[in-house]
Chain A
Amino acid sequence: MIKKIALVAFASVILLFYTPFLAFGYYISEGGSLKLPSLSMVITTFLLAVSTAVISIGLAYPAAYYLAKRGSELEFALITAPLWVGTLLKAYSLLVLFAIVEKFSGIALWGSPLGVLIGMVYEYLPYALLTLYAAIEKLSETPVYAARVLGASRLQAFFRVELPLTMPGVVAAFILVFLFAMGEVIMPAVLGAWKVYTFGSYIWDLYFKARDIFSGGVLSLVLTALSLLATYVVVKTIRSFSL
């Protein structure tokens, strides 16, 4: 009984991810034309996703390091709590913050790529932090002591021993944030004021404005494939550097 329920639920979840393929088959048989996004849009999306991943990892690493070594429970709870707040709420609150910043300093963040980048880093930082924390926490102290005893300074011990050892965590954080950021719609829409146009916004418009669900479905598959391919390439590059 339980087995049957679980298997049916599991099968429907798996099946669901193949629906775009169904749509794809239908699409080909109907002879519809695919509305491809422009190259600049793909590049914008890619650059945004890469910089989001790099900046969030850069910002999160020192904090994750501190939390894993000396952090208290309260600090850990405080830094992960923003994960519970929805993306749209975060986007909206940043929108209001940007309005205030613009009023007082004259810097217009709303509608600029920088604003979108800030929004995406704001959203994905806790994800990067948790992943890095898990990697750093597992690190044993022995290699660092060994390096220190052998005459390395504290900084040297960190850069030559600890950082390479936590590289798998960095790679995992990169994959996670990058994959999420490639499909991002809310931040570019709310903070980019539809001026910063990404692949996600394009699919969005295909569905909601052009009502072209099949182009949208096919392109969402392309997006998934592109993100996975890019992840593979980037991870390979990072790995080759660290070795």
Chain B
Amino acid sequence: MKILRIYTWALIAMLYIPVALIVALSFNDSKLPYIWGGFTYKWYLALFQWEQAWQALFNSFVIALAVSLVATLLGVFMAYVLRSDKYLAISQGAVVMPEISEALAFAAALWLVKTYVGVDLFGPVGVFLAHLAYTLPMAHVLLTPYIAYVGKSVVEASRILGASEMKTVAFVILPILMPAFIATFLIVFVNSFDTYIKTAFTTSPGFITAPILLWNYAARGRGDPTIYALATLMLVPSIAAAVIYFRAIKRYSLSP
């Protein structure tokens, strides 16, 4: 067991080294990644003056917020209505579809709409819809096990006492599900914030998100300290979400 413990910690270290490196290099005064030139904030200042980067981060944030709100709400509705296993199998299948075919399916759909209906949805709307389409099955799958926590009697009691279906979901089911709701919200948020492929297939040249900007450098193999700073900022939602998530889950497991 002791060897296994050391092994596990070594594995954890391996998982963190590359990401920690990017964070460290974003504070490096030298432009070359293998020379340490001292501590500096100047790349963040450079990033601050780079309008496009802020626009991209802002766009990512707004899209992720909208997507996670809608996907989680619809996910609760779907999990509530489609509780039986036969629906779960279908939506679970949708989650495991290979990345690229899903994104391309969406691009094809948008393209058909553009050609036959004449509405050009490429851009923010397309990105929003694409992210929603892929996070919705995810939210559904994540929330379904927790719906079982809400006893049938509670729902029936609320209905008999005169609450509408909408009210039942909003004031009975949602509060009970809050930790699961928050956890799902965070997972969807981070996924949407970090997704590159779905965005690339559905965006227009004028609408840039943070992963798109990062890709422009990464795909050409270019290292640039300002981009390290951007990457570090993109880590912030992930870290925050991970911390909140583990707290929410912990509280949930203590008082089911």
Give B6's nearest chain A residue, CB to CB: A66
Measured between C-beta atoms, what is the minimum distance from B175 to chain A in Å?
Answer: 16
In the assembled complex, the CB of B140 is this many whole angstroms from the nearest CB of chain A, namely 8
Stretch in contact with the other chain, from B37-45, B47-55, B227-235: B227-235
Is the CB of B166 closer than 8 A to any CB of chain A? Answer: yes
The interface residues of chain B lying within 8 Å CB-to-CB of A66 are 1, 4-5, 7-8
A220 and B100 contacting across the interface, CB-CB below 8 Å: yes
Does A93 lie within 8 Å of B104, measured CB to CB? no
Q: Is the interface of B mostly helix, strand, loop or mixed?
A: helix
Q: Which residues of B contact A62 (CB under 8 A)?
A: 4, 7-8
Judge if B108 is at the interface, Cβ distance under 8 Å. Answer: yes
- Asked if residues A20 and B166 are in contact (CB atoms below 8 Å), the reply is no
Chain B residues with CB under 8 Å of A182's CB are: 98
**Docked CA distance A191–B137 (Å):** 30
One digit per residue, 1 when the CB lies within 8 angstroms of any chain B CB and 0 when it does not, for chain A 92-104 equals: 1111110110011
Chain A positions within 8 Å of B81 at CB level: 2-3, 6-7
Closest residue of A by beta carbon distance from B90: A14
Q: Using A6-B80, A66-B1 as known contacts, say yes or no to A86 and B107 having CB atoms under 8 A apart.
A: no
State whether the Cβ of B241 lies closer than 8 Å to any Cβ in chain A: yes
B219 partner, pick from A63, A71, A81, A190, beta carbons under 8 A: A190
CB contacts (< 8 Å) of A81 on chain B: these are 239, 242
User: With A77-B246, A213-B111 in contact, is A16–B1 under 8 Å at CB?
Assistant: no
Interface residues of B in 149-176 (CB under 8 A from A): 165-166, 169
- Closest CB in chain A relative to B51 CB, distance in Å: 22
Stretch touching chain B among A138-146, A162-170, A199-207: A199-207
Identify the 7 closest CB pairs spanning chains A and B, nearest first: A86-B194, A183-B98, A220-B101, A66-B4, A93-B18, A6-B81, A6-B77
19 sample A-B contacts, Cβ–Cβ < 8 Å, listed by A number: A1-B166, A2-B166, A17-B102, A63-B7, A66-B8, A70-B1, A75-B9, A77-B242, A82-B19, A85-B238, A86-B195, A95-B223, A96-B22, A96-B25, A99-B34, A100-B33, A190-B218, A217-B105, A224-B101
- Report B's interface with A, CB cutoff 8 A: 1, 4-5, 7-9, 11-12, 15-19, 21-22, 25, 33-34, 74, 77-78, 80-82, 87, 90-91, 94, 96-102, 104-109, 111-112, 133, 136-137, 140, 165-166, 169, 190, 193-197, 200-201, 211, 214-215, 217-219, 221, 223, 227-228, 231, 234-235, 238-239, 241-242, 245-246, 250
